[in-house]
Copies of this chain bind each other. A is one copy, B any other.
């Protein structure tokens, strides 16, 4: 069982890497098997289909992300602090699971056709609701602007945060914590120079 668990994990990890690099549709079960070090037929002992592998990659990713979001929301903070924390939590998840993050960002049209899409949809809805509730709270207490639709602001932040997996490399001196701080500062304070007053 430990062996099977390790093999399953290896299959999921190799698949996520290939899916992220080449796209799901362009990745073959033979490539996955090569990377794992078995023949393609052996994959079907662990998963019933290629789609099942995709589904598990995405589901595990969303479970991790949601658990981090729930931790952020469990603490009493201002909307601004919570927004900063959501950005930082997202970037940390993207750093620890870059391939799964890329798959989820790039392959939504593929994911939507999976047989178990409803579970993914529910998790995605909770993710969105978390962000929107924080933004609405900030509008309500006057710390955020009320002249721009919260959904528009949410989508800009979301896309900027998640697409950072396409260019951010955690190896350099620019840490993920600094990236999160810069992101929050740009979106909240703007890139225009502060008024020298």
Q: Which residues of B contact A148 (CB under 8 A)?
A: 182, 185-186, 191
Q: Which residues of B contact A156 (CB under 8 A)?
A: 160, 164, 183, 186-187
| Main DSSP-derived SS at the A contact region | helix
Q: How many angstroms from the CA of A106 to the CA of B109 in the assembled complex? A: 11
- Distance in Å: Cβ of A166 to nearest Cβ of chain B: 8
Taking CB atoms and an 8 Å cut-off, the chain A residues in 38-85 that contact chain B are 80
Taking CB atoms and an 8 Å cut-off, the chain A residues in 152-197 that contact chain B are 152-153, 155-157, 159-160, 163-164, 166-167, 174, 179, 182-183, 185-194
**Contact, CB under 8 Å: B188 / A189:** no
**Contact, CB under 8 Å: B110 / A192:** no
- A1 on the B face (CB < 8 A): no
Q: Which residues of B contact A152 (CB under 8 A)?
A: 179, 182
Q: How many angstroms from the CA of A143 to the CA of B191 in the assembled complex? A: 9
Q: Which residues of B contact A9 (CB under 8 A)?
A: none
